[in-house]
Structure 1
Amino acid sequence: MNEDNIYDVDKYEEVSEEKENEIKEDFIDEDKTFEKDSYVHPINDISSTPKRKKKKGNTLFKVIAIAIIAGLLGGGIGSGSVYYLLKNNIIQSSNKEVAQNPQTFSTDSEALTASEAFEKVAPAVVIVSVSGVIDYSGIVPQETEGIGSGFIINEEGYILTNYHVIEGAKEVTVTLSDGNDVKAKVVNYDENQDVAMLKISDDSVKVPGVVELGDSDALKPGEQVIAIGTPLSKEFNQTVTSGIVSAVNRTVETSSGVQLNLIQTDAAINPGNSGGPLVNTKGEVVGINNMKIASDSVEGIGFSIPINEIKDRIESLSKPILNLGVSIREISSDLSKQYNMEEGLYIVQVTEFSPAEKAGLQAGDVIVKFDGQRIKTFDELKAIRDTKNEGDVVSVEVVRNGENKTFNVQLEAKE
């Protein structure tokens, strides 16, 4: 984290940075024709052998006889050797472990065809339609409507998608794979990581499918993948594109300056695909599609958030955002020495009527402990808060005018 930045604790975002329309969603996208060279050259015919010079008389008959005998013996020995080798190879092969992710959709017994992988995942893929208002840091708020993609992760109707798909949303409608439109609510999100959790509002709705989450750490460059989503408009829902993993662990900086660890793929990802699943050869979701390079001269470079980056956070993302009501600045060791302040989180602003104000926290306080644990960074505070539930009371120790004071803050769900 940059020590000069101010963070809104309740929005997971830097409030001193100017926002963009979307995190690289409005990239230039072009219709592409992907060509795959699958032609295999035939093996050259090398069966012809050099001719021998003919010899006269008995010598010729002796040579022919020897050749016939040698051929018969050689054939018997050769066939026996081949059988022995093949037998051993079959036995050894049967004892080999199957790779975690087969490298093709069709030739490995563990792998699915692209069509089978699609049929396994597609029932859980949804269209996310939003309407709302986005305020771009002082600029006149703009009404917005848009669509994206998402996928259902459990029978309770929780849906993973990108944050930029639902940014500023006042209303969210989800179109299920069976064609039904249902209302959904934004449960939680992390703007910096560009991930959001939705939930179908009507608990009586039976979900048409649930995805299986895979292991994105097992992905290898060259492994085949498919992307499923709704590019451009609802008329193109349930679109599937295929490609390979071009690279893993790509560090990409978003327009807001946040660096993400992403999967690079050449599977076509277009506006509206955002939030949809990237699927491996076993029909498992290994990534959340979220952006592509914007350039007339670049093709086949798209990115997905590795699912392993999200797995450990599913529980916390499935709970409402808990409102604390402060904006803070990190006081590093250097700033601590420079201004003779305690290392911790300097409160820049306290929101009116927030839990922080009700508890007695003030601008100028430096938070040094949260729930009894020593903290010095924004991420440390978030990590502790994400383990809490609505209504929980946490102790917040601050330094105020050189004295340590402790306040009890009751956390509220953010509306």
Structure 2
Amino acid sequence: MNEDNIYDVENYESVNKGDNEEFEESFSEEHKTFESDSYVHPINNISDKPKKKKRKGTFKIIALALIAGLIGGAIGSGSVYYLTKNNQSGNRVITANPQTFSTDSEALTASEAFDKVAPAVVIVSVSGVIDYSGIIPQETEGIGSGFIINEEGYILTNYHVIEGAKEVTVTLSDGNEVKAKVVNYDSNRDVAMLKISDDTVKVPAVAELGDSDALKPGEQVIAIGTPLSKEFNQTVTSGIVSAVNRNVETSSGQQVNLIQTDAAINPGNSGGPLVNTKGEVVGINNMKIASDSVEGIGFSIPINEIKDRIEALSKPILNLGISIREITSDLSKQLKLEEGLYIVEVTEFSPAEKAGLKGGDLIVKFDGKRIKTFEELKEIRDTKEEGDVVSVEVIRNGETKTFNVQLEAKE
């Protein structure tokens, strides 16, 4: 966490961050050298001295050797058969995910995996206004991808797909276009939750979420989405898992854990699913390295990184109306303040202002719990509902004060 960042509590992000789509990958992979085992045959000392030939008993020796060979062969064959049979019946090794798309009992073909997931994949069309820091704000339109995760019409996609959006339209796999609203998002993890606005719309399918922790390098995957334009909707590309647990640093200094794949991921694929050999979603496609000298390096957010946030993301963003700066251990010593969250600004007419909080207050407890970081505040807030009242303990001018803040849903 960058101690110089100021955090907007509602937006899950650093206010003074850079462009959210610019990522810098830090390759710190351990390189392993594989050595093949070598078998050295023993060398016996053989005398150069010629031996006398013995005719007597020669045929007898040959006969005995042949009999011994036959017996040894029979024993060896029986042993191999027994061991092989025993291994097949009792010691079969089954991997968590089949490594390739096939037609055996454990894996789907690539076509079957596509048919299972594609009906739940949607086109996300957005229109909004982007402010290019000082230049006149411009209206913009764009598309991305997403996938339906339940019958209520909730859809997972990337945050950068809907960033700045004023209006969101979702095109379902059956061609039906419906309005959707942004329910919640986490810009640091580049994930957003949408919901179909019309509750009477019947979703065509729901994607099954898999276990991204079970992925292994070399395992085959497919990516589904809408690259470039709507004309290319339901595009499927295939590849392998190139690496797991890639630590990539964003422009705001956040470290994110990603799956690396060589499946083609192009603009518009963002927010679409990465699918394993069981037809389960194991990742959310979100970026690629764009370079003339680089090919086949794309990234996806592991679905296990999002599973624990689905409940919180399915609830509206709860508004506090403050921006804060973390007072870390080092800053605490420099400024002679307690560790906590320093309120930089309070928004007019916000719940924080109504409760009496002011800029310069240092938050040390939230809902009765000691907090020191932005993440700790968010984790507690995400357990609350609209209308809940939380106590906020602050230090103001050396005195401890407590304020009760009623949480409101962000419009």
- TM-score, normalised to structure 2, is 0.86
Instruction: State the match for 1:89 in structure 2.
Output: 87
Whole-Å separation in 2 of the counterparts to 1:288 and 1:351? 34
Whole-Å separation in 1 of the counterparts to 2:82 and 2:364? 73
Whole-Å separation in 1 of the counterparts to 2:310 and 2:167? 23
Q: Report how far residue 75 of structure 1 moved.
A: 8.3
SS at structure 1 position matched to 2:16: coil
Instruction: State the match for 2:52 in structure 1.
Output: none
Whole-Å separation in 1 of the counterparts to 2:405 and 2:22? 37
Question: Which of residues 252, 269, 279 in structure 1 aligns to 2:265?
Answer: 269
SS at structure 2 position matched to 1:118: helix
Letter in 1 for 2:21: I
Whole-Å separation in 2 of the counterparts to 1:367 and 1:68? 91
What is the total number of aligned residue pairs between the two structures?
378
Question: Which of residues 377, 382, 400 in structure 2 aligns to 1:381?
Answer: 377
Larger deviation, residues 122-131 vs 97-106? 97-106
Whole-Å separation in 2 of the counterparts to 1:72 and 1:4? 81
SS at structure 1 position matched to 2:392: strand
The yes-or-no answer on 1:398 pairing with 2:386 is: no
Whole-Å separation in 1 of the counterparts to 2:86 and 2:191? 51
Q: Report how far residue 5 of structure 1 moved.
A: 1.3
The 5-angstrom pairing of residues 34-183 of structure 1 reads: 83-93=81-91, 96-106=92-102, 108-183=104-179
**CA deviation map 1:204-236 (0-9, x unaligned):** 111111111111111111111110000001111
Question: Which of residues 180, 187, 191 in structure 2 aligns to 1:191?
Answer: 187
* Structure 1 pair 68–208 and aligned structure 2 pair: CA distance change class (3 A): same
Contact 1:391 1:410 in 2 (8 A): yes
The sequence identity of aligned pairs, in percent, is 86
**CA deviation map 1:335-359 (0-9, x unaligned):** 2222222221111100001000000
* Structure 1 pair 399–77 and aligned structure 2 pair: CA distance change class (3 A): closer
Q: Report how far residue 8 of structure 1 moved.
A: 0.7
* Structure 1 pair 371–69 and aligned structure 2 pair: CA distance change class (3 A): closer
Letter in 2 for 1:245: V
Instruction: State the match for 1:57 in structure 2.
Output: none
* Structure 1 pair 405–81 and aligned structure 2 pair: CA distance change class (3 A): closer
Whole-Å separation in 2 of the counterparts to 1:337 and 1:67? 88
Q: Report how far residue 251 of structure 1 moved.
A: 1.0
Whole-Å separation in 2 of the counterparts to 1:150 and 1:274? 8
Larger deviation, residues 96-105 vs 79-88? 79-88
**Which runs of no fewer than 5 residues in structure 1 stay unpaired?**
26-60
Question: Which of residues 302, 309, 316 in structure 1 aligns to 2:305?
Answer: 309
Letter in 2 for 1:389: E
SS at structure 2 position matched to 1:87: helix
Contact 1:333 1:343 in 2 (8 A): yes
**CA deviation map 1:166-207 (0-9, x unaligned):** 001111110111111011000000111100000011111111
Letter in 1 for 2:16: S
Whole-Å separation in 2 of the counterparts to 1:257 and 1:85? 55
**Which runs of no fewer than 5 residues in structure 2 stay unpaired?**
24-58
The yes-or-no answer on 1:354 pairing with 2:353 is: no
Q: Report how far residue 260 of structure 1 moved.
A: 1.1
Whole-Å separation in 2 of the counterparts to 1:351 and 1:142? 25
Contact 2:2 2:253 in 1 (8 A): no
* Structure 1 pair 2–72 and aligned structure 2 pair: CA distance change class (3 A): closer
**CA deviation map 1:70-128 (0-9, x unaligned):** 999788767655644443233234xx352111111116531111111111111100000
Contact 1:120 1:283 in 2 (8 A): yes
Whole-Å separation in 2 of the counterparts to 1:64 and 1:331? 91
SS at structure 2 position matched to 1:384: helix
